[in-house]
Structure 1
């Protein structure tokens, strides 16, 4: 396995509105990882992502991207899909035109025109998300799952080295969720992926490394999730999905056997 560190987080503390949100967080992301950070709502996951991207200040600690503190050059190497939509899907443009806006960061000058190279990059990004057929469709006609795939394509169109996804299935319906994760698994063979999620069930089936976060972060060099790993994170009975020849569900006991 390639051991090159692309993100290094060292003893990071972050306070928001005087409340401690991240405490002594330390971990590394290696090139080629499909890395999951799991935890309950309000555990600091989105704050951690924003800190990694250099969008909020640290109270103490250090974060390095590709060996350097976050700066415009290093941030340009990261594609980010936030949990909340940052794009107005009622806007009267096509999917191709929307994904094309992801190339704006590569333009020198506000009014510089897009090139054939930009349009080719859009088609490639849509293809990577199995969304080629959506190119000419108005964005307002997309389903939740299609919107999410298109948003990821928009993040990929700049050819980043790392893709960060904050709750990527929040707008994906259950019947298409597994196919969506299969797309991400395939994509992870080409690019380093960090996925922020509270959905424990799908993680061990797709990722290669897991961290649990609830203000403090607990790192696990494995794709296996056990009750012991996350009891300190969730603080409640744990529902775990395992997989093998016959997928099955293992539940923590809620009390004494009858």
Structure 2
């Protein structure tokens, strides 16, 4: 049985500095999806995320969350994992203190103290990503992979229904990357995940739906990337080459040119 949509983007257009960044975007994310949106740098992927989060206004169209027009309450049900570089990891706080900031959306008033419930939620979030032992470590001492996992724990601390990740493996090395996707695959059993990336090669066996974005959105309603989607998005034919045992070739079969 098809699950109900939790994100609906209907004919959305966004312009910035008099340039069309997103044009007539329409798609749905359903409850339980592990949904990947891929595209080249500058394709409007981060702008699309920011529009869903209410950080960028839409020039036309509408965005529905959980079946209703997006509002602060429904957006509070989304956990957001931005690119690593937006955080200052030299700030003198521990991992636990950083994860606690993920509870801010649930607090009324900027001077409210963290409660025992908040601390428990932060500990549970770290446990969920198998990072219990990182809690007392300074954030500046984390590796690239550890930083990304902690950002996920920070988002999970708010008990979201949807987790959106913007380019989550940009600063993660290749050996760590597959472990990272295994973590996301495990989390996707309990939470809807939307992942934004520019790297075709990471569209692995873990995702169940995929779309391509380059100002306009191209999608095939499954985990298959079609040759037409890739060509439309990147402006030229693209082939996917994989190394090792993990299959990443996700182009559908097509007829040879006669």
Aligned structure 1 segments of 4 or more residues deviating by more than 3 angstroms: 241-251
SS in 2 for 1:146: helix
d(CA) in 2 for partners of 1:70, 1:163: 16
Give the superposition deviation at 1:86. Answer: 3.5
What is the RMSD of the two structures over their aligned residues, measured on CA atoms? 2.1
Q: Are positions 1:129 and 2:129 aligned together?
A: yes
Give the superposition deviation at 1:224. Answer: 1.9
Give the superposition deviation at 1:226. Answer: 3.3
Q: Are positions 1:154 and 2:154 aligned together?
A: yes
The answer on whether the counterparts of 1:64 and 1:70 sit within 8 Å (CA) in structure 2 is yes
The TM-score with structure 1 as length reference comes to: 0.91
**Residue equivalent to 1:254:** none
Q: Are positions 1:108 and 2:108 aligned together?
A: yes
Q: Are positions 1:40 and 2:44 aligned together?
A: no
The TM-score with structure 2 as length reference comes to: 0.91
**Residue equivalent to 1:29:** 29
Give the superposition deviation at 1:228. Answer: 2.8
Q: Spell out, residue by residue over 1:156-210, the C-alpha distance to the aligned partner (whole angstroms, 9 max, x if none).
A: 1000000000000012111101000100010011100000001111213210000
1:30–1:250 Cα change, 3 Å: closer
**Residue equivalent to 2:209:** 209
- Give the number of aligned pairs: 251
1:96–1:21 Cα change, 3 Å: same
Give the superposition deviation at 1:110. Answer: 2.5
d(CA) in 1 for partners of 2:246, 2:107: 51
Deviates more, 1:154-163 or 1:224-233: 224-233
d(CA) in 1 for partners of 2:14, 2:61: 9
**Residue equivalent to 2:83:** 83
Give the superposition deviation at 1:47. Answer: 0.8
**Residue equivalent to 1:231:** 231
**Residue equivalent to 2:191:** 191
